[in-house]
Amino acid sequence: MSGSVERFDERARREASRYGRTVVRRGELLRHPVYTRVLHWSVAIFFVLSLLSGFALYSPWLFRWLAPLFGGGTMARFLHPWFGLAFDLAFLFQFVNWLAPMAWTKADRRWLRRIKEYTTNEEKVEAEDVGFFNGGQKLYFWAIVVSGVLFLVTGLLLWFDDAAPRWLVALSYVVHDIAALVMLGGFVIHVYEGTAAAPGTFRSMTDGTVSEDWAWTHHPAWYRDVTGRDPREDYERARRRLAGRERAAVAWEREQDERERAAAPEEPPEL
């Protein structure tokens, strides 16, 4: 990354943090600062608006359901390219913001080889070399980069179709639609991964923080970088603490049962 990009990004982060706060409590780590969160939700809003207005134009059946959301077909057709441009612009800023942590590394190649274990949740904690983003997250990011460029180029050709040869316009329809379907698939997986699949992830994009347990479970190398502690040791310690607490709770319940039994009046003898 060039020096000027770094300076721009640092300034934008500082500016954004003046308008919003991130409170990091004990046992938590800062994951996404205000600037990143504002960009993420701007990208998400314009993506969903582009998708819905685009699907309204895609098929007559979807048109019936979706066009009224935008005030009719003519309005949906007018708004769609503008939503698309806003999506691309918001993502351009996010691209600059995330370029460094999204660089592909050997650890990501190893992560891809273990993808089956990841999807079947065979391991409780991720491998020690998984950093701020894992290989799957990086693939999603780069898929958006490629789709974003394809959307822009083919979208402009469709918008100003008088200025392009007919075969190129026809090809643009196909590429535009394929990119949209790929993005839709990625979006569904992404929402699942960011919410139900890994509890504690969603708050990183609302409050900006995650718990330390979440960090050593999903991103051990990042946990080591920011805390200077060994993720595996901390995980084992937390596991022992939890097991100790469970044992203490069981012992306490047993003691209560015995006390209640001792305090209960004796059964009257059977006659």
Does residue 93 touch ligand HEM according to CB under 6 A? no
| Residue 121 Ramachandran class (φ > 0 left, ψ -120 to 50 alpha, else beta) | left
Q: Positive or negative, the Cα torsion across 250, 252, 253, 255? A: positive
| Minimum gap (Å) between residue 130 Cβ and ligand HEM | 11
Query: Which of 43, 76, 150, 215 is close enough to bind ligand HEM by CB under 6 A?
Result: 43
Between 181 and 262, name the residue whose CB sits nearer to ligand HEM.
181
Tokens 């949906």 — which residue? 76
Does residue 31 touch ligand HEM according to CB under 6 A? yes
Contact residues for 20 (Cβ-Cβ < 8 A; gap 6+): 34, 37, 38
Catalytic residue list: 190
Contact residues for 37 (Cβ-Cβ < 8 A; gap 6+): 20, 205, 206, 208
Span near ligand HEM by CB under 6 A; candidates 72-80, 116-124, 137-145, 232-240:
137-145
> For residue 89, which of 170, 1, 148, 29 has the smallest C-alpha distance?
148
Does residue 38 touch ligand HEM according to CB under 6 A? no
Does residue 33 touch ligand HEM according to CB under 6 A? no
Tokens 């180029």 — which residue? 153
Between 93 and 133, name the residue whose CB sits nearer to ligand HEM.
133
Does residue 42 touch ligand HEM according to CB under 6 A? no
Query: Which of 58, 95, 159, 202 is close enough to bind ligand HEM by CB under 6 A?
Result: 202
| Minimum gap (Å) between residue 72 Cβ and ligand HEM | 25
Query: b or e along 98-121 (b: 16 or more beta carbons within 10 Å of the residue's beta carbon)?
Result: beeebeeeeebeebeebeeebeee
Between 175 and 201, name the residue whose CB sits nearer to ligand HEM.
201
Q: How far is CA 186 from CA 96, 181, 228, 261, in A?
A: 21, 9, 34, 59
Do 141 and 186 form a contact (C-beta atoms < 8 A)?
no
Residue 242 token pair: 């939890």
CB hemisphere CA count around 237 (13 angstroms): 9
Span near ligand HEM by CB under 6 A; candidates 164-172, 202-210, 249-257, 260-268:
202-210
Does residue 205 touch ligand HEM according to CB under 6 A? yes
DSSP assignment letter at 210: E
# residues near ligand HEM by CB under 6 A? 19
Between 77 and 218, name the residue whose CB sits nearer to ligand HEM.
218
Query: Which of 40, 80, 176, 224 is close enough to bind ligand HEM by CB under 6 A?
Result: 40
Residues that bind ligand HEM (CB under 6 A): 31, 40, 43-44, 47, 133, 137, 140-141, 144, 187, 190-191, 194-195, 201-202, 204-205
